[in-house]
Amino acid sequence: MCKLRIGLVAAFSLLSLAAPVLAETGSLTGSPPAEILEVIRGGARYLPPDFDTRVPPPYSAGDLEARREVIDLLILQRDARTPRQVALAVAESMPDHTAMDWFELGGLLPPEEELPAIWSYLRVVQDEVRFFALRDSWHWQRPLPAELDPAVETIVPAAPQPPYPSDHSARAASIAYALALINPDCTLAYFELSREIAARREIAGVNYASDSSAGEVLAGSVVEALILGGGLDEMIAEAKGELRRKGWAYLQCGA
């Protein structure tokens, strides 16, 4: 929890700057950087590497829908960049944070030391989903929003992969799906938070709305296949057992 608090404090400190905090966007065409190649070359752990995530092609740069999405981002940039949303977007962009950290920051997941079996289960799901999110993003190589319109100001560094499907959205949704499986009473709260996390990437100017939607589709496809395949049965049973021992009310999801 200390890491998360420090991250949020650091994020809020950025708000004291008089000018907007602009991040380098650059171009992401070409080959993946070494850190991404390592994940892609490592392959998926449970599903075949050519698994169909059911993610449709992104809009082409010249499409009317692509331009509409840029306009939506400019409206968000004008209207939705509150100090709190900016601070959370910055905190959630820190490279040492996992999707589980985002859910801990959002108040829906206790620290790892309190629920080690559940965190282990969530980490496996997140890592499997991330492989396919990175694979698909480098397949489609969609331009970043600021590459299509320099009026889109980014307030966090762009991820080291193209934006479609959104890696942030996919990983956040993977945790929502996985937690809902073991604690269905909080399903709405989990998906509300995962979509807020994805939306903050749009507010930050580094993802389009369709990137976020595609990330959630990808996560759903991968998690569904993991469950149907049975490879996670033992981990799910351990996670449910840990929660049962703690008490089902231990994973709180609001009033």
The sign of the CA dihedral 215, 220, 221, 222 is positive
pLDDT in tens, 52-91: 999 999 998 888 999 999 999 999 999 999 999 999 999 9
Sorted by sequence, the CB contacts under 8 Å of residue 49 that are 6+ apart come out as: 43, 135
Whole-number pLDDT of residue 4: 45
CA distances for 145 relative to 60, 66, 96, 190, angstroms:
12, 9, 24, 27
Over range 119-147, report the average pLDDT.
Answer: 95
Model confidence at 33, in pLDDT bands (50, 70, 90)?
confident
Over range 95-119, report the average pLDDT.
Answer: 94
Calculate the average pLDDT of the chain: 86
Residue 15 has pLDDT above 90, yes or no: no
Whole-number pLDDT of residue 24: 37
Over range 111-129, report the average pLDDT.
Answer: 96
Q: Which residue ranges form the domains of the chain, and what is each CATH number?
A: 2-250 (1.20.144.10)
Closest CA to 87 of 3, 21, 168: 21
pLDDT in tens, 213-245: 999 999 999 999 999 999 899 999 999 999 999
